[in-house]
């Protein structure tokens, strides 16, 4: 273990990561997790407000029809467009939530690698190494639960 191996998998080089590189893994993982979490929140917000948007668009469509701004055929066409947009607003939640869930799991793997490399570094005291190992174990459990149990059922409300 005293000599550094070249090539191989990332798993083989985890103990060889220095503190600076391990901290980069943790920071980049946190930034990616925050960005993908932001995507999840925005997507969920759009899906939850789709009904309100449809009500406002229907009211505007009705008012324009009653005021004579366009005829019945345009009114029906606008109604179909409003329904189509609402369904897309709800369906995009499924697509972007699954993409963001995968992105968050990848970001958590980077964080896990960073904490594991801190845990196997020999120039850190034993208590701190145990804390890093416990943190990496908790992150691994979080990854397992979100991967195996969070994506069993995909529902569109």
DSSP state string for 31-80: HHHHHHHHHHHHHHHHHHTHHHHHHHHHHHHHHHHHTTSS-HHHHHHHHH
Q: What is the pLDDT of residue 121?
A: 77
Is this prediction's pTM over 0.75?
no
Q: Structure tokens of 138?
A: 């908790």
Q: What is the pLDDT of residue 45?
A: 93
For the packed helices 50-66 and 19-48, what is the interaxial angle rounded to 10 degrees? Answer: 40
Q: Is residue 3 predicted with pLDDT exceeding 70?
A: no
Q: What is the pLDDT of residue 72?
A: 92
pLDDT digits (tens, 9 = 90+) for 55-81: 999 999 999 999 989 999 999 999 999
Residue bearing the bigger pLDDT, 149 or 29? 29
pLDDT digits (tens, 9 = 90+) for 102-145: 898 899 889 888 888 888 877 888 888 888 888 888 888 888 87
Is there a contact between 111 and 25 (Cβ–Cβ < 8 Å)?
Answer: yes
pLDDT digits (tens, 9 = 90+) for 12-58: 666 667 788 888 988 999 999 999 989 999 999 999 999 999 999 99
Residue bearing the bigger pLDDT, 10 or 136? 136
Q: What is the pLDDT of residue 8?
A: 54
Each domain of the chain, given as residue ranges in start order, spans: 17-148
Q: Is residue 155 predicted with pLDDT exceeding 60?
A: no
Rounded Cα distance between 91 and 43, Å, is 10
Q: What is the pLDDT of residue 42?
A: 93
Rounded Cα distance between 42 and 101, Å, is 13
Nearest to 129 by CA among 138, 117, 147: 117
Nearest to 92 by CA among 118, 53, 127: 53
Is there a contact between 29 and 114 (Cβ–Cβ < 8 Å)?
Answer: yes
Rounded Cα distance between 81 and 68, Å, is 19
Is there a contact between 37 and 100 (Cβ–Cβ < 8 Å)?
Answer: yes
Residue bearing the bigger pLDDT, 9 or 104? 104
Rounded Cα distance between 49 and 47, Å, is 6
Q: What is the pLDDT of residue 13?
A: 60
């Amino acid at each position: 273990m005293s000599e550094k191996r070249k090539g191989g998998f990332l798993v083989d080089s985890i103990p060889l990561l220095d503190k600076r590189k391990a901290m980069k893994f943790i920071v980049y993982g946190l930034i990616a997790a925050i960005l993908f979490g932001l995507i999840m929140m925005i997507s969920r917000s759009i899906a939850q407000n789709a009904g309100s948007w449809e009500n406002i668009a229907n009211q505007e469509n009705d008012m324009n029809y009653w005021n004579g701004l366009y005829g019945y055929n345009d009114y029906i066409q606008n109604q179909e467009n409003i329904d189509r947009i609402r369904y897309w607003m709800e369906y995009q939640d499924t697509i972007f939530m699954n993409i963001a869930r995968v992105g968050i799991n990848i970001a958590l793997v980077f964080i896990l690698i960073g904490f594991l490399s801190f845990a196997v570094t020999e120039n850190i005291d034993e208590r701190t190494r145990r804390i890093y190992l416990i943190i990496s174990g908790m992150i691994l459990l979080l990854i397992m639960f979100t991967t195996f149990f969070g994506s069993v059922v995909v529902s569109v409300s």
